[in-house]
Amino acid sequence: MNLTNFKDEIDPLIEAYIQNKINAIPDDIDFAFLKKQFDYIKVFIKDGKRIRPYVTYITYLSFGGKKNKEIINNLVFIEIFHYFCLIHDDIMDNSAKRHGIKTVNSKCGVSEAILLGDYLFSWAWEIILSTKLNAGSKKNVIKIFTEMIDDVFLGQTIDIQSTHKKTVSNNLIFKKTLHKTAGYTFTKPMLIGLVLANNYSKENIKFCESLGKNLGFAFQIQDDLLDITSDFNGNKISLKDVSEGNHTVFSNYVFEKGSAEQKNILRNNFGIENIDNIKVRKVFYDSGAINYGQELMKEYFNNAKAIASSYKYFTNLIDLISSRKS
Amino acid sequence: MNLTNFKDEIDPLIEAYIQNKINAIPDDIDFAFLKKQFDYIKVFIKDGKRIRPYVTYITYLSFGGKKNKEIINNLVFIEIFHYFCLIHDDIMDNSAKRHGIKTVNSKCGVSEAILLGDYLFSWAWEIILSTKLNAGSKKNVIKIFTEMIDDVFLGQTIDIQSTHKKTVSNNLIFKKTLHKTAGYTFTKPMLIGLVLANNYSKENIKFCESLGKNLGFAFQIQDDLLDITSDFNGNKISLKDVSEGNHTVFSNYVFEKGSAEQKNILRNNFGIENIDNIKVRKVFYDSGAINYGQELMKEYFNNAKAIASSYKYFTNLIDLISSRKS
């Protein structure tokens, strides 16, 4: 099952869960707006790639889990939790759009978005607690889930703090990626897959940590790279990281190794709304930041492929990710 | 054990839990600010009355639970959850102070407060899942906890929506109080007490629902009344509800039964920062709103006392609450 097929399987489960929540709202004119807001959550969730639950699923398959669609029911909480993170993240970043559609804060209001995020976080727990697993597995899934929460919260905390700063260390960017991308997006979902496959051994945990770390770093650098290099909606350049003041390996490279003029251009456009897209993008190319980041990314992707070489689901996923254009 | 003694018992447990979280933060200069933020959570939590876990505790005692301080460990999650609610509520209300000290959003920043609230919500789950209860009781506590979450979220949703409106129906204020105060503050904590006492019977559930509803309505009206009538910090008048645009039975009384001039004064001061305290307070008295609210509150307190007449812990608590001055 590839990522697209997987999305086709899990999306109806996600939608049905939210629809149940809508149906459970008291049928009362005063709660009509809550139904509308939950409806928007369905719209907001619709286009996601489902990478995290898919990573869990292929780990499950790779470590002896039976091809059994029932197991996908146990993965819905991962995506619901992820959307809780995105909703609150969009408020913190004051983002108006995500993947071309309105963020929840921009559609429903900031207070509403805080509360809607809280709802999803609560739902994630509710789902995890109602999964049909034996007591030991459930305990392990919950343990990994709390570690996953710690990872994303710690990464997010660093994120919030570093946007206040003019410069940050490479080490801080490393730590943010370690928690928020490697830990949260890859390693922890993989570990849940091991538990579901009844194969949560020390050796396998080590494999997941090593693969998750390399894949996480590659994925994050790629994400930051695409934010600089890709055009979307016709000719619009993104450069969201620069305008939001997010420090990346690319901005750090310019601030460290760029010429005085290049540093100045990036500095003057960092964390402001209307940046000079053409000029800033040129700085990233001319300073050598793009080249440096591309090499680093390739190295991590190659490491990941080497580690995962005997697991076809993973090598396929790495090929898919490494060739993505958005 | 009265409320003050109870606070002396539970507070060290709450503090120790947060201190453990502080100790678990990686010892790393980059995470120093997170330690500071968690430290502020300890300060922010310090002065609370602990009404909700106390309500659980006296229900437990009233329905056959043994006088056993160990059980208090199982109540920490209720207060941690409550502070998650307060932290997010303060952001939504854009409040700078609570009980005389800085709110988390005002001390640490809005993004930080969203995330710190999320941390506490996550901790509440973690604590509830690690409580030493038999599987059946734990399942029931979790079920009631999710209903408690639904209550406070639904109340909060109404709250957010109604502050956008010029007028709301009495029915809407009724529903908000039913969920946010009766359900969340009294009935659901009581129900958890029944489970802990192994006395979660239909008859007892009915008792809790009936007592919780009356006590909740009395408590909410009293809260709104104190916001109008009490002076704090010397001569400053609060009237926070008016300046934040929160609809209460008092504002609704004025908007419905006040003279044209009284309606105008309240309307012009509703939801603005610098209200004319003296004039607005006079409107509440002169229109008869205060008198009306006081009678309604007395009625609910009397109902509550009648329902709880044979349970000394409850009659003592009702006496304590009904005589509070802040």
Distance CA B57, CA B1 (A): 9
User: Which of A114, A119, A158 is the closest to B91 by Cβ?
Assistant: A114
C-beta atoms of A121 and B126 within 8 A: no
> How close A316 comes to chain B (CA, Å)?
35
C-beta atoms of B161 and A33 within 8 A: yes
Residue-wise pLDDT for A97-117, tens only, equals 888 899 999 999 999 999 999
C-beta atoms of A30 and B171 within 8 A: yes
> How close A193 comes to chain B (CA, Å)?
21
Burial label, B245 (beta-carbon count in 10 A; 0-12, 13-18, 19+): middle
Residue-wise pLDDT for A62-84, tens only, equals 999 998 888 999 999 999 999 99
| Percentage with pLDDT > 70 across chain B | 98
Q: What single letter denotes the amino acid at residue A244?
A: E
Q: Report residue A281 as tokens.
A: 């993008």
Report pLDDT for A163: 83
pLDDT band of B236, cuts 50, 70, 90: low
C-beta atoms of A30 and B112 within 8 A: no
B115-126 average pLDDT score: 97
Cβ distance B10 to B79 under 8 Å?
yes
- The secondary structure of chain B in percent helix, strand, coil, rounded to multiples of 5, reads 75, 0, 20
Mean pLDDT of chain B: 94
User: Which of B129, B153, B169 is the closest to A142 by Cβ?
Assistant: B129
User: Which of B109, B115, B149 is the closest to A153 by Cβ?
Assistant: B115
Contacts of residue B112, defined as CB under 8 A and 6 or more positions apart, other chains included, come to A157, A160, B37, B104, B105
CA nearest to A118 within chain B: B118
Interface test with A, best of B21, B25, B30, B108 (most A CBs within 10 A): B30
Which chain B residues touch A112 with a CB distance below 8 Å?
Answer: 157, 160
Which chain B residues touch A157 with a CB distance below 8 Å?
Answer: 31, 33-34, 112, 115
Residue-wise pLDDT for A39-54, tens only, equals 999 999 999 999 999 9
User: Which of A33, A119, A172 is the closest to B153 by Cβ?
Assistant: A119
Q: Is A27 on the interface with B (CB under 8 A)?
A: no
Q: Residue B101 belongs to what H/E stretch?
A: strand B101-102
Report pLDDT for A233: 53
Cβ distance B322 to B301 under 8 Å?
yes
Q: Is B175 on the interface with A (CB under 8 A)?
A: yes
Cβ distance B233 to B100 under 8 Å?
yes
Nearest CA to A188 out of A223, A147, A135 is that of: A147
pLDDT band of B28, cuts 50, 70, 90: confident
Q: Is B34 on the interface with A (CB under 8 A)?
A: yes
Residue-wise pLDDT for B252-274, tens only, equals 999 999 999 999 999 999 999 89
Report pLDDT for B238: 82
Distance of CA B169 to the CA centre of its chain: 22
DSSP, res B72: G
Give the least confident one: A153-157, A322-326, B264-268: A322-326
- Residues 134-163 (A) with a CB less than 8 A from some CB of B: 142, 146, 149, 153-154, 156-158, 160-161
pLDDT band of B296, cuts 50, 70, 90: very high
Cβ distance A9 to A1 under 8 Å?
yes
Comparing B305 with A244, the larger pLDDT belongs to B305
Residue A272's CB: how many other CB atoms inside 10 A?
12
Residue-wise pLDDT for B170-228, tens only, equals 999 999 999 999 999 999 999 999 999 999 999 999 999 999 999 999 999 999 999 99
3-class secondary structure, A47 = coil
For residues A217-251, one letter each, b for 16 or more C-beta atoms within 10 angstroms of the residue's C-beta and e for the rest, the string is bbbbbbebbebbbeeeeeeebbbebbbbbbbbbbb
Residue-wise pLDDT for A4-29, tens only, equals 999 999 999 999 999 999 999 988 88
Distance CA A13, CA A8 (A): 10
pTM (two decimals): 0.94
Which chain A residues touch B77 with a CB distance below 8 Å?
Answer: none
Distance CA B303, CA B221 (A): 14
Report pLDDT for B29: 80
Q: Residue B231 belongs to what H/E stretch?
A: strand B231-232
Report pLDDT for B235: 52
Beta strands in A226-283 (DSSP E): 231-232, 236-237
Q: How many residues does chain B have?
A: 326
Distance CA A266, CA A279 (A): 9
C-beta atoms of A109 and B153 within 8 A: no
Cβ distance B256 to B287 under 8 Å?
no
Burial label, A25 (beta-carbon count in 10 A; 0-12, 13-18, 19+): middle
Q: Residue B232 belongs to what H/E stretch?
A: strand B231-232
Residue-wise pLDDT for A268-288, tens only, equals 999 998 899 999 999 999 999
| Percentage with pLDDT > 70 across chain A | 98
Report pLDDT for B237: 67
| Percentage with pLDDT > 90 across chain A | 84
Q: Report residue A23 as tokens.
A: 């149906």
pLDDT band of A301, cuts 50, 70, 90: very high
Report pLDDT for A237: 67
Residue-wise pLDDT for A223-264, tens only, equals 999 999 987 655 566 898 999 899 999 999 999 999 999 999
> Is residue B234 scored above 60 in pLDDT?
no
Which residues on adjacent β-strands are paired with residue B108?
Answer: none
Q: Is B31 on the interface with A (CB under 8 A)?
A: yes
Residue-wise pLDDT for B50-99, tens only, equals 999 999 999 999 999 998 888 999 999 999 999 999 999 999 988 898 88
ipTM over 0.85: yes
Q: What single letter denotes the amino acid at residue B269?
A: N
3-state secondary structure B133-202: CCHHHHHHHHHHHHHHHHHHHHHHHHHHHHHCCCCCCHHHHHHHHHHHHHHHHHHHHHHHHHHHCCCCCH
Q: Is B285 on the interface with A (CB under 8 A)?
A: no
